[in-house]
């Protein structure tokens, strides 16, 4: 049976990983500055993670959400402590899209309304409401298009005010740092006004932290760079270091009812063991400090390279914008220098999303390779 061919693939076959490196089936080493779409947070095959997941799977990998699972309670407690989101409640699921789907559903339950406001270039996943709130018509099927969504420009506070005052908006969903769209950010003033408008109009303010959460931005959550208190915070990518796990943090003012949300696999024992190991390593290794320091180091070097026209993002969620499309550049970095980087819907942007354990020596390796590739006239001639 052939695989359903939906992914354009690089011709590399990683079979193992260690820290910020992966190794292919020929034994070649690759520097991973992409973390498999920002998923690898504490590094590939971290020994504490391997130990925790192996121990758990040898005891009990799964049981459904019909029994007591103290690992979920422990994960919720650790997450509350590390994130500083006091008194929020945790609902666990399996992916980023599912987290946003549940966030939007909960917002609709809570307010009794159904329209969503989202933003240009935003990406929230591929399930029904999440994809409808995503600004990409190519991935919205007719069945998704029946959702009521209004897409506005980031920083268009007049537009947000006009839409919310119509009274039918259940949620505003926002990435505080856009991922797939290309690392754009709204201003603090914008986010704070959106938050106030949500409060005034019985609209839930949803922070999509699927990519920007878990210390990647230099704070536990990217919204914490601004003065807002989201009603719902969705999380996933860095949470399990590759184990599929997602969740939503739910403000104490939103009350749970039996059956309101649910999942078979979400919050299973193995997922919780992975999630707990990640939080333990983030704390023990003080990865937030590493993110801040490595980000500063990376940006300082990037600023010295004239071909880089703009540096976007925060922490270790960074984008380098050129005045040419970066497809060839990425290929050269992978095939000639064995370095993984990412692309974005902005074709001129190179995305950098390394494991949060990255060190100066890895950043130096990247810039040496980048400078070498940029010296290649073919890429410069490929300006568009």
Ligand X SMILES: Cc1ncc(COP(=O)(O)O)c(C=O)c1O
* Selection from 272, 279, 374 nearest residue 326 by Cα: 374
Is residue 37 a contact residue for ligand X (CB under 6 A)?
A: yes
| DSSP assignment of 103-114 | HHHHHHHHHS--
Q: Which of 56, 72, 95, 155 binds ligand X (CB under 6 A)?
A: 95
* Alpha-carbon span 200 to 202, nearest angstrom: 6
Residue pointed to by tokens 């925060």: 314
| Nearest distance, CB of residue 366 and ligand X, angstroms | 22
Is residue 180 a contact residue for ligand X (CB under 6 A)?
A: yes
Is residue 271 a contact residue for ligand X (CB under 6 A)?
A: no
Instruction: Give, as ranges, the residues between 213 and 242 that touch ligand X (CB under 6 A).
Output: 236
Q: Which of 56, 208, 232, 330 binds ligand X (CB under 6 A)?
A: 208
Taking residue 180's Cβ as centre, other Cβ atoms within 10 Å add up to 22
From the list 56-64, 71-79, 203-211, 296-304, the region that binds ligand X by CB under 6 A is 203-211
| Nearest distance, CB of residue 250 and ligand X, angstroms | 17
* Selection from 131, 154, 136, 227 nearest residue 188 by Cα: 227
Q: Which helix (H) or strand (E) holds 122?
A: none
* Alpha-carbon span 133 to 179, nearest angstrom: 15
Q: Which of 56, 102, 211, 295 binds ligand X (CB under 6 A)?
A: 211
Q: Nearer Cβ to ligand X, position 152 or 370? A: 152
Is residue 313 a contact residue for ligand X (CB under 6 A)?
A: no
Q: Which helix (H) or strand (E) holds 351?
A: strand 349-352
Is residue 105 a contact residue for ligand X (CB under 6 A)?
A: no
At 380 the three-state DSSP class reads: helix
Q: Nearer Cβ to ligand X, position 113 or 124? A: 124
At 253 the three-state DSSP class reads: coil
From the list 11-19, 45-53, 207-215, 281-289, the region that binds ligand X by CB under 6 A is 207-215
Q: Nearer Cβ to ligand X, position 19 or 240? A: 240
Is residue 171 a contact residue for ligand X (CB under 6 A)?
A: no
Is residue 210 a contact residue for ligand X (CB under 6 A)?
A: yes
Instruction: Give, as ranges, the residues between 71 and 90 that touch ligand X (CB under 6 A).
Output: none
Is residue 100 a contact residue for ligand X (CB under 6 A)?
A: yes
Is residue 96 a contact residue for ligand X (CB under 6 A)?
A: yes
Question: Residue 179 is encoded by which pair of tokens?
Answer: 């991922």
CB proximity list for 334: less than 8 A, separation 6 or greater: 10, 12, 30, 340, 341
CB proximity list for 336: less than 8 A, separation 6 or greater: 369, 373
Cβ 214 vs Cβ 278: under 8 Å: yes
Question: What is the binding site for ligand X (CB under 6 A)?
Answer: 37, 95-97, 100, 123-125, 175, 179-180, 208, 210-211, 236
């Amino acid at each position: 049976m052939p695989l359903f061919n939906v992914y354009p693939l690089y011709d590399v076959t990683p079979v193992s990983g260690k820290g910020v490196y992966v190794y292919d089936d020929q034994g070649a080493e690759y520097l991973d500055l992409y973390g498999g779409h920002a998923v690898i947070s504490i590094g590939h095959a971290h020994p504490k993670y391997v130990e925790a997941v192996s121990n758990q799977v040898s005891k009990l990998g799964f049981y459904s959400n019909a029994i007591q699972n103290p690992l979920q309670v422990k994960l919720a407690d650790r997450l509350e402590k590390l994130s500083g989101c006091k008194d929020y409640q945790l609902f666990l699921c399996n992916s980023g899209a599912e987290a946003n789907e549940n966030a939007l559903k909960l917002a609709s339950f809570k307010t009794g309304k159904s329209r969503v406001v989202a933003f240009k270039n935003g990406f929230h996943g591929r399930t029904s409401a999440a994809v409808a709130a995503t600004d990409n018509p190519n991935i919205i099927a007719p069945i998704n298009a029946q959702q009521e969504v209004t897409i506005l420009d980031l920083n268009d506070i007049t537009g947000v005010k006009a839409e919310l005052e119509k009274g039918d908006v259940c949620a505003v969903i926002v990435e505080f740092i856009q991922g797939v769209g290309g690392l754009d950010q709204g201003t603090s003033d914008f986010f704070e006004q959106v938050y106030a408008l949500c409060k005034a109009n019985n609209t839930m303010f949803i922070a999509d932290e699927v990519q920007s959460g878990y210390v990647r931005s230099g704070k536990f959550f990217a919204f914490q760079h601004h003065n807002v208190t989201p009603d719902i915070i969705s999380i996933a990518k860095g949470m399990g270091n590759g184990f599929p796990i997602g969740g939503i943090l739910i403000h104490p003012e939103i009350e749970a009812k039996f059956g309101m949300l649910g999942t078979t696999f979400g919050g299973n024992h193995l997922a919780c063991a992975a999630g707990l190991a990640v939080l333990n390593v983030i704390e023990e290794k003080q990865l937030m400090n590493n993110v801040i320091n490595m980000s500063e180091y990376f940006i300082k070097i990037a600023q010295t390279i004239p071909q880089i026209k703009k540096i976007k993002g925060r922490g270790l969620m960074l984008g380098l914008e050129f005045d040419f499309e970066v497809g060839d550049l990425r290929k050269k970095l992978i095939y000639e220098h064995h370095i993984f980087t990412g692309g974005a819907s902005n074709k001129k942007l190179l995305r950098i999303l390394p494991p949060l354990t990255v060190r100066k020596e890895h950043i130096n390796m990247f810039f040496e390779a980048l400078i070498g590739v940029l010296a290649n006239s073919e890429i410069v001639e490929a300006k568009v």
